[in-house]
Amino acid sequence: MSKVELSNKTIFITGVAGFIGSNIAKRLLQDESSVKIIGLDNMNDYYDVRLKEYRLDELFSYNNFAFIKGNLADMALITSVFEKYRPEVVVNLGAQAGVRYSITNPGAYVESNLIGFFNILEGCRHSYDKGHTPVEHLVYASSSSVYGTNKKVPYSIDDKVDNPVSLYAATKKSNELMAHAYSKLYNIPSTGLRFFTVYGPAGRPDMAYFGFTNKLKEGKMIQIFNYGNCERDFTYVDDIVEGVLRVMQKAPDKKSGEDGLPVPPYAVYNIGNNKPENLLDFANILEEELIRAGVLPEDYDFEAHKELVPMQPGDVPATYADITEFERDFGFKPRTSLREGLRKFSEWYKAFYMSE
Ligand SMILES: NC(=O)c1ccc[n+]([C@@H]2O[C@H](COP(=O)([O-])OP(=O)(O)OC[C@H]3O[C@@H](n4cnc5c(N)ncnc54)[C@H](O)[C@@H]3O)[C@@H](O)[C@H]2O)c1
């Protein structure tokens, strides 16, 4: 693998107002004062835009951070960002996320995840034109959803992932295929990361832990899918940030094959907790932590607010990451326990929504 020095570099982060993107930008700005971060986000209202503004506000205090409000699918804009700023490292996290929404709004996924990613690949490709400083490493988000209803656990990057059960998953698998073609054709080092259920403070309100919290606070029922027989490999956001930072600094090597053509400098990894949790156990810990943080009263009657329901279309019963290759190449594995992570989420939730 080739070392990618981050100091004094320009880093282009898409989806920078998003949950994962904002946390990565924040950590880079805190740790590497010599980097320049160009962040892009279209600030769409798939979920409460105030959360995106709140995350961005934390970044605006750094003068080496520049924000562009715009759409990944706008080719002229993306081309101009690459030409004006000449980023050496690109981290593509901008995407339409969520499995269920892809059933009612498929067009959003084609626009952001396919056309948007194509524009990023083209920007990387043309960075190699005319002897300019090229993109040294493209890191992009894939997803555990590419595994579909894989029966074999844990999920390994060697497993066949040709049977997506949602359009979201199909766009993420497509991203890996598109990146492979561009790595092969234009020798662009790229690394795809299959994230497994990332959670934490200021996370995504469309995800179960956040939705449960909103509902429980309002005294509404929460629905536990597949009658509670669901397992998720929850990964705390700080662990994802640490993992992505390590990945950014190690790109797949450029080499030539026997035919004299480049062997694609291409890699895909799982990045997950490697420890799946049952949804019912998860809900119990969440409830305890919500009480501890003062989001819910001590005597809250959980049993009266829990409903066990069947599986939803597009959902999968289990996710479980095999991270052998990730640990081998980056010397790191997620270390935050679910209780610790949910404690931080609950404390943040109390401060953000309930402090007057
Ligand atoms: N959070 C998870 O558990 C998880 C799991 C697997 C994969 N991922 C992937 O990781 C990435 C980041 O996820 P996240 O949880 O931070 O999601 P997020 O929705 O919080 O962040 C994505 C950001 O991208 C922006 N965006 C969407 N379409 C855009 C477009 N066309 N142009 C510009 N900006 C656009 C959104 O406004 C949002 O701020 C996504 O690619 C997602 O699919 C996340």
Tens-place pLDDT, residues 248-271:
999 999 999 898 888 999 999 999
Q: How far is the CA of 246 from the centre of ligand 1 (A)?
A: 20
Tens-place pLDDT, residues 20-37:
999 999 999 999 999 999
Percent of the chain with pLDDT over 70: 99
Helix ranges (H only) for the chain are 19-31, 49-60, 75-85, 101-104, 106-109, 116-126, 167-186, 208-217, 237-248, 279-293, 324-330, 338-354
User: What tokens does 285 get?
Assistant: 């810990």
Mention every residue, 6+ apart, whose C-beta is less than 8 A from residue 349.
Answer: 201, 213, 290, 293, 295
Provide the pLDDT for residue 356. 64
Q: Of 168, 182, 266, 349, which residue is the catalytic one?
A: 168
Could you identify the atom of ligand 1 that is nearest to the CA of residue 98? 43
Q: What is the rounded distance in angstroms from the CA atom of residue 246 to the CA atom of residue 54?
A: 26
Query: 326 to each of 266, 306, 322, 331, how far by Cα in Å?
Result: 14, 37, 9, 7
Provide the pLDDT for residue 313. 78
Q: How far is the CA of 18 from the centre of ligand 1 (A)?
A: 6
Arithmetic mean of pLDDT over the chain? 95
Average pLDDT over residues 173-185: 97
Angle, helix 19-31 to helix 237-248, in steps of 10 degrees: 60
Q: How far is the CA of 21 from the centre of ligand 1 (A)?
A: 8
What burial class does residue 205 get, using C-beta atoms within 10 Å of its C-beta: 0-12 exposed, 13-18 middle, 19+ buried?
Answer: middle
In total, the chain counts a number of residues equal to 356
Instruction: Give ligand 1 pocket residues (Cβ under 6 A).
Output: 15, 17-21, 40-44, 52, 71-73, 93-97, 111-112, 116, 141, 143, 195, 197-198, 204
Higher pLDDT, 190 or 318: 190
Does pLDDT of 229 surpass 90? no
